[in-house]
Amino acid sequence: MAQVPPRHGGNLQQAALRLGCAPEQVLDFSASLVPFAPPAAVRRSLRQALALQVYPDRSYSALRQAIALRHQVPADAVLPGNGAAELFTWAARDAAALGLNHLPAPGFADYERALRCWGGRWQHEHLQLPHQQVGPQELPEAFRSQLAHLQGPLWLTNPHNPTGQLWSQESLLALLERVPLLVVDEAFLPLVPGGEQHSLVQLASQHPRLVVIRSLTKLFGIAGLRLGYAIAEPQRLQRWSQWRDPWPVNGLAAAAGERLMADAAWTKKVQAWVATERPWLVDQLVRRGWQVSPSSCNFLLVQRGHALENWRQRLEQQHRILVRDCRSFIGLDERWWRLALLDRRRNRRLLRALDQVQATDRA
Ligand SMILES: Cc1ncc(COP(=O)(O)O)c(C=O)c1O
């Protein structure tokens, strides 16, 4: 039976089942999370929150305060969610009611899932590959002219997934004037050195046509806790609150989130790691014949001009290494992978495994 390409990275349990090993024995370059154990403060707050009899505060006021403080926005412009994914669902409910949505392609597939929940309609807008530079850039001219006449909501990812392109704040602001709703997913922005300068978070707290969504998953390596938040005009968030299940964020995630939002040192550490590890890994890959799209964040879109499915399977079966197979992204095919950055030791392990796969190909 033909294998369906995965629509998301990080399927560690399933890979471990296929390989007959424990999930800890699999090295995962397919989901782009920081490679460090979450800050010690999280474990402390989780232990304290283990009094599981208590309902979480239904308004999440302490968590909202902590997020508001970090971004210098009013607390009623903040809505915590069960991961960014839950908040896409509510943004999509608004967006579906506003006509045809526009989604860059290749792009993150979860916006489609969210729109589908509400019978929303969308059209893909082609985004050219590869781009020229690392660092903030204008949305490409051809992409902007495609958008010139659009009338429906626009969804953007900053930095973009899967390319890692960082869109300058200026170029996003120019678009904002033209659309009935702009949803900007900043899931990876806090990992980008200097990235916050290009955030729309502060504007979102007062702008009626802008929603910014953030995730704690990548920045803190806490995919299992499920925590994200939206910043938008308070009236919009109040409406969303009435649609949701009660207590969408569990007490453990809320307690950890309060601590994490106050941890500015962590973000510095993560950005310093991206600033050193990314150019190092790019250089190593280029020397080995890979073409690497210049990315501003902690993942790299790579290709080598030939189909990589056989290599991917050998990496998984012989080395227990997972990479993000990009066949599910519109416009990409078997020649493309997305690779997360891990720490130096594990990045070296990937390179050694790639050398072996390549060597057996030549033999
Ligand atoms: C661009 C982007 N946004 C959001 C998410 C989801 O984040 P969360 O785990 O908070 O639902 C992902 C996860 O892969 C992602 O790649």
Q: Give the model confidence (pLDDT) of 51-74 as tens digits.
A: 788 899 999 999 999 999 999 999
Q: State the average pLDDT for the chain.
A: 93
| CA of 161, closest atom in ligand 1 | 1
The pLDDT-based confidence of 132 (bands split at 50, 70, 90) is: low
Burial of 284 (0-12, 13-18, 19+ CB in 10 A): middle
CA distance 254 to 264: 18
Ligand 1, atom 12, residue with closest C-alpha:
187
Distance, CA 187 to ligand 1 centroid (Å)?
Answer: 6
User: What percent of the chain has pLDDT above 70?
Assistant: 98
Q: Are residues 79 and 25 part of one domain?
A: no
**Which protein residue has the closest C-alpha to ligand 1 atom 3?**
187
The domain in which residue 195 lies consists of 40-262
Interval between CA 57 and ligand 1 midpoint (Å): 25
Q: Give the residue-averaged pLDDT of 168-188.
A: 94
Same-domain pairing of 343 and 232 = no
CA-wise closest residue to 185 among 292, 270, 91, 44 = 91
Q: For position 130, what pLDDT does the model report? A: 62
CB of 89 closer than 8 Å to CB of 81: no
pLDDT at 131: 61
Q: Are residues 358 and 319 in the same domain?
A: yes
Tokens of 351: 């390179």
Same domain, 244 and 193: yes
Q: Whose CA is nearest to atom 15 of ligand 1?
A: 187
DSSP per position, 321-351: EEEEE-TTSTT--TTEEEEE---HHHHHHHH
Atom index in ligand 1 nearest the CA of residue 215 equals 10
In whole angstroms, give the CA distance from residue 114 to residue 334: 26
- On whether residue 251 sits in a domain, the answer given is yes
Same domain, 289 and 336: yes
> In this predicted model, what pLDDT tens digit does every residue of 285-313 receive, in sequence order?
999 999 999 899 999 999 998 999 999 99
CA distance 191 to 273: 9
Cα(311) to centroid(ligand 1), Å? 26
C-alpha of residue 83 to centroid of ligand 1, in Å: 8
Q: How many structural domains is the chain composed of?
A: 2
Instruction: Report how far residue 295's alpha carbon sits from residue 309's, in angstroms, rounded to the nearest whole number.
Output: 23
The answer to whether 301 touches 336, Cβ cutoff 8 Å, is: yes
Residue 360 alpha carbon to ligand 1 centre in Å = 36
pLDDT band at 178 (very low <50, low <70, confident <90, very high): confident
In this structure, the answer to whether residues 256 and 339 fall within a common structural domain is no
Please state, in angstroms and rounded to a whole number, the distance separating the CA atoms of residues 190 and 269. Answer: 11
- The C-alpha torsion from 111 through 112 and 114 to 119, rounded to 10°, is 140
Each residue's pLDDT tens digit, 14-23: 888 998 999 8
What pLDDT score does 2 carry? Answer: 47
pLDDT digits (tens, 9 = 90+) for 4-17: 777 787 788 888 89
CB 315, CB 28: distance < 8 Å: no
Structural tokens at position 36: 């460090």
Q: How is residue 149 written in tokens?
A: 């006449």
228-263 per-position pLDDT tens digit: 999 999 999 999 999 999 999 999 999 999 999 999
Q: How far is the CA of 85 from the centre of ligand 1 (A)?
A: 6
∠ CA 58-95-129, rounded to 5°: 115
Mutate to test the pocket of ligand 1, among 8, 29, 89, 110 (most ligand atoms within 8 A of CB): 110
Q: Which protein residues are within 6 Å of ligand 1, measured from CB?
A: 83-85, 108, 157, 161, 185, 187, 215, 217, 223, 228
3-state secondary structure of 310: helix
Among 155, 215, 297, 298, which residue has the most ligand 1 atoms within 8 Å of its CB, making it the best to mutate? 215
Listed residues 242, 262, 282: the one ending a domain: 262
Q: Is residue 4 part of a domain?
A: no
Phi-psi region of 119 (alpha: psi -120 to 50; beta: other; left: phi over 0): left
DSSP code at position 23:
G
